[in-house]
Amino acid sequence: MSSLDTTNAVARRPFPGRRARFGDVLLQGVAGLAALGATFLVGLIVYKIVQGSKLSLSTFGLGFVTHIAWNPVAGHLDFGAGAFLFGTAVTSVGALILATPLALAVALFLSELSPNWLRGPVTALVETLAAIPSVLIGLWGILVLGPFLLNHVDPALHSALGFIPLFGPATYASNVFTAIVVLTIMILPIIASISRELFLGVPGELKEGALALGLTRWEMVRGVVFPYARGGVAAAMILGFGRAIGEAIAVQQVIGGFTGTHLLWNLFSPGDTIGSKIAANYQGSQTGLELSSLVYLALILLVFSLIVNVVAQVIVRRSARRLGTSA
């Protein structure tokens, strides 16, 4: 807390001594209403989702979360989230593993290494990548990326790493790995642009000091920039992770889709995530129980996202505290 900080009371009324003006009251009213509305909306969404999943909740209970089954045919009705939860975890963790080093490299290049004339255009392009609608990336995934991976990348990975069950033989262009790459492309700009801001925020004196001590650029980055930005980078990763968990359309376009009756350990086989399953089947469900089970999937996704958010905040706070004590 510095002496420049003002107390709340003063901040709310910029001209002490004068009565609150109509405009200020209105502003407070409008802003407050908007904030209240947003909170109310979240509450409403949670309420509707819980209500919608009631039938499935009472039929399957909490066992639904890990139960591996999805049979919407009357007489065979059996639903569970297990396979889709697994698919969501595999795709989003996979995307995070691929995207993080790439994003950090992009951010480092833009903040520390790039020549000045290149910095602007490349930054703008990376941010444009984040603005491409997911349905377009999905379409590109179907038409270009999927066949390319199938013909060139998947077989190479299979022959090099085939001893690990995850890298089995590839038969289809629509598979979990294609979805991972699509998600990587989608979350890379998020992690990269936040990290770039963080790296730029590292005080110049620290960096110059490190260089003056005779450290190489890489040693400076490792010893000064990374530790300084660690908490923020972790939060950026989790933001990207959150995006990957929830992405439905682009994933559904390239992941193939399967029935959810078993776990798929081969990255090169088609799969499904919670988001893609909801997107695929919400419109056509034939029974109330299937619809309710799809809403139950949404509930799981909501809880999952909430946990991710909370974890991100905890990490940011903890690293801020650590930074505070060390400085």
Partner 1 sequence: MPRSGIVRFTLALATVALVAALAVGAAGASSAKRTNGSVSGAGSTFVAPLVSLWINAVSSIGINFSYSAIGSGGGVAAITNKQVDLGMSDAPLTQFSPTCTTCVQIPWALAGTAVMYRLDGVKNHLHLTGQVLAKIYMGQITNWSDPAIAALNSGVNLPNKAITVVHRSDSSGTSYNFTDFLSHVSSAWKSQVGTGTAVAWPAGIGGKGSSGVSSLVHSTNGGIGYADAEYAHKAHLAMFSMKNRAGKFVFANLKSIKAASVLDTKPAADGSLSIVNPPKSSKYANAYPICTYTYVDVQKSSGNAATLKKFLNWAITTGQTYGPKIFFVPLPASVVKFDKKQIAKIK
Positions in the binding site for partner 1 (CB under 8 A): 14, 23-24, 26-27, 30, 69-76, 142-143, 146-147, 171-174, 252-253, 256-261, 269-270, 272, 276, 279-289, 291
> What's the min distance (Å) between Cβ of 123 and partner 1?
30
Amino acid at 40: F
Of the pair 216, 259, the CB lying nearest partner 1 is at 259
> What's the min distance (Å) between Cβ of 232 and partner 1?
30
> What's the min distance (Å) between Cβ of 183 and partner 1?
17
> What's the min distance (Å) between Cβ of 309 and partner 1?
28
Of the pair 74, 97, the CB lying nearest partner 1 is at 74
Of the pair 134, 252, the CB lying nearest partner 1 is at 252
Of the pair 69, 191, the CB lying nearest partner 1 is at 69
> What's the min distance (Å) between Cβ of 255 and partner 1?
8
Query: What token pair was written down for 155?
Result: 């077989």
Residues forming beta bridges with residue 256, ordered by sequence position: 271
Q: Is 200 left (phi over 0), alpha (psi -120 to 50) or beta?
A: alpha
Which helix or strand (DSSP H or E) is residue 182 part of? helix 176-200
> Distance between CA 140 and CA 58 in Å, rounded?
41
User: Which pairs count as long-range contacts for 298-301, CB under 8 Å and 24+ apart, including other chains?
Assistant: 298/49, 298/52, 298/53, 298/274, 299/49, 299/50, 299/53, 300/65, 300/81, 300/85, 300/274, 301/88, 301/245, 301/246, 301/274, 301/275
Of the pair 83, 108, the CB lying nearest partner 1 is at 83
Of the pair 231, 275, the CB lying nearest partner 1 is at 275
Which helix or strand (DSSP H or E) is residue 79 part of? strand 78-79
Number of CB atoms found within 10 A of residue 130's CB: 15
Angle at 303 between CA 310 and CA 196, to 5 degrees: 40
> What's the min distance (Å) between Cβ of 14 and partner 1?
7
